[in-house]
Amino acid sequence: MTVLTETVARPCEQPASVRSRVTVPLRFPDGLTATAEVMTFHGLADGMEHLMIGLGPWQQALLDAGADGTAPLVRLHSECLTGDVFGSERCDCGPQLREAVEEIAAVGGFLLYLRQEGRGIGLYSKIDAYALQDTGLDTYEANVALGRGEDERDYTAAAQMLGAVGAGRIRLLTNNPDKVGQLAALGVEVTEQVPTGVHLSAANKLYLAAKRNHTAHTIDLPDADLPGTPSKIPTHDELLARVDALVPRLREHAGETDGLRRIPDTVMAELKAAGVFQMLAPKAVGGFGMCLETYVQVVRRLAQGDASTAWSVGHLAEHVWMLARWPKQAQDEVFAAGPAPLAAATGAPPGSAEKVPGGFTISGRWSFASGVMHSDWALLAVQHGGVRLQCLVPMADLELLDVWHTAGLRGTGSNDLRAEALFVPAHRALEWNLLAAAENPGSFIHPDPSIHVPMATFLNMVAPAAALGAAEHALDEFRNLMMVRKVKQTVEKRQADSPLAQARFTQAYGQVATARLHWEEAVRVVSASFDRRPVAFTDEERAQYRLSLGLSGQASAEAVRLILTGSGGSVHRLTHPLQRIQRDVNVLLNHASLTMDPILEQAGRGLLDLGFTIPAEQF
Residues 6+ apart with CB under 8 A from 358: 423, 425, 426
Q: What is the largest CA-CA distance in the chain?
A: 100
Neighbours of 613 (CB within 10 A): 10
State which of 367-381, 443-457, 488-502 shows the largest mean pLDDT: 367-381
Annotated catalytic sites, by residue?
151, 153
Helix pair angle (265-274, 307-323), 10° resolution: 50
Going by the DSSP 8-state scheme, the letter that residue 7 receives in this structure is: T
Helix pair angle (462-482, 307-323), 10° resolution: 160
Q: Provide the pLDDT for residue 8.
A: 39
Q: How far is CA 215 from CA 22, 156, 175, 455, in A?
A: 36, 20, 10, 43
Phi/psi of residue 576, nearest 5 degrees? -95, 135
Convert the pLDDT of each residue in 180-228 to its tens digit.
Answer: 999 999 999 999 999 998 888 878 888 888 888 778 888 877 654 444 4
Residue 534: is the preceding peptide bond cis (ω within 30°)?
A: yes
Cα distance between residue 506 and residue 84, in whole Å: 62
Cα distance between residue 424 and residue 412, in whole Å: 27
Neighbours of 265 (CB within 10 A): 10
Contact 21, 39 (CB under 8 A): yes
Question: 10 pLDDT exceeds 60?
Answer: no
Q: What mean pLDDT do residues 303-319 have?
A: 97
What ranges make up the beta strands (E) of 176-230? Answer: 189-194
Q: Provide the pLDDT for residue 615.
A: 84
Q: Provide the pLDDT for residue 231.
A: 39
Helix (H) or strand (E) holding 42: strand 33-42
Polymer length of the chain: 619
Question: 324 pLDDT exceeds 90?
Answer: yes
Share of residues in the chain with pLDDT > 90 (%): 72
Residues 6+ apart with CB under 8 A from 517: none
Secondary structure of 412-457 as H, E, C letters? HCCCEEEEEEEEEEHHHEEEHHHHHCCCCHHHHCCCCHHHHCCHHH
**What's the CA angle centered on 32, arms 27 and 35, to 5 degrees?**
55
Q: Provide the pLDDT for residue 13.
A: 60
Q: Provide the pLDDT for residue 488.
A: 81
Convert the pLDDT of each residue in 379-401 to its tens digit.
Answer: 999 999 999 999 999 999 999 99
Share of residues in the chain with pLDDT > 70 (%): 95
Sign of the torsion formed by the C-alpha atoms of 453, 457, 461 and 462? positive
Q: Are strands 33-42 and 17-27 parallel, antiparallel or unpaired?
A: antiparallel
Going by the DSSP 8-state scheme, the letter that residue 174 receives in this structure is: -
Report the chain's mean pLDDT, rounded to a whole number. 90
Residue 227: is the preceding peptide bond cis (ω within 30°)?
A: no
Structural domains in the chain plus CATH codes: 17-116+153-221 (3.40.50.10990), 231-457 (2.40.110.10), 460-618 (1.20.140.10)
Whether the model clears a pTM of 0.85, i.e. scores above it, the answer is: no
Convert the pLDDT of each residue in 79-97 to its tens digit.
Answer: 999 999 999 999 999 999 9
